[in-house]
Chains A and B, each alone.
Chain A
Amino acid sequence: DQQVKQNSPSLSVQEGRISILNCDYTNSMFDYFLWYKKYPAEGPTFLISISSIKDKNEDGRFTVFLNKSAKHLSLHIVPSQPGDSAVYFCAALDGSSNTGKLIFGQGTTLQVKP
């Protein structure tokens, strides 16, 4: 039972264009969402997060949008750069948890072409 789903295994965009990565979730108890970025042979690194009380959070070229009614969030990267090529994981935190365990999606591989 996949509670966090990233339905696009891969995405390819041209340098300078917008990259949009999508994530859907099923558990209404999730109250915090995060995006992690992973380069080959490295561990995932935190990128950006959003609380369920907000619908948008922006950090430089990265913006995360949350649509609670649709149980959907997206990560926008503008403008995309070749160095953004990596695997992106969406993750969610269960608000009823007191241990902070994250539920991850399957990941989307982004390729930004020069």
Chain B
Amino acid sequence: GAGVSQSPRYKVTKRGQDVALRCDPISGHVSLYWYRQALGQGPEFLTYFNYEAQQDKSGLPNDRFSAERPEGSISTLTIQRTEQRDSAMYRCASSLAKWRLAGVGELFFGEGSRLTVL
């Protein structure tokens, strides 16, 4: 597709359920990032992939959060046993090449997946 595609756009779930959020980056983009954005705040880094390798997961809040990118393209962010504090907009972003080779700033964001945990 032309841009970064995320699904679902909206997800409402009950506390304790697992959710999976999908990101389809721009074709050929090597770097992929997940961010979380609370209302009225800026995006907060969660994790980074270079191709299929998860090279930085320092932003994942706890072990209920995990992410994968098995074939170096589509990525899934999974939240297990969701809690109300997990409610937020989850944003995926991709970049053409590995960081600092792509040109700083060439990060393309998707429209996000808004998660609401009841």
Inter-chain residue pair count (beta carbon < 8 A): 71
* Cβ contact within 8 Å between A100 and B48: yes
With both beta carbons as reference points, the residue of chain B lying nearest to A42 in the complex is identified as B111
Number of interface residues of B (CB under 8 A): 30
**How far is A36 from B106 in the complex, measured between Cα atoms in Å?**
11
Any chain A CB within 8 A of the CB of B104? Answer: yes
Do the beta carbons of A106 and B40 come within 8 Å of each other?
yes
Residue among A6, A34, A43 having the largest count of chain B Cβ atoms under 10 Å? A43
What are 17 pairs between A and B in contact, CB < 8 Å? Answer: A32-B104, A34-B104, A43-B91, A43-B111, A46-B107, A46-B108, A91-B42, A98-B55, A100-B48, A100-B104, A101-B33, A101-B45, A101-B48, A101-B59, A102-B45, A106-B40, A107-B42
Binding site for B on A (CB under 8 A): 4, 6, 9, 32, 34, 36, 41-46, 48-49, 51, 89, 91, 93, 97-107
B contact set with A: CB distance below 8 Å: 4, 31, 33, 35, 40-45, 48, 50, 55-56, 58-59, 91, 93, 95, 99-100, 104-112
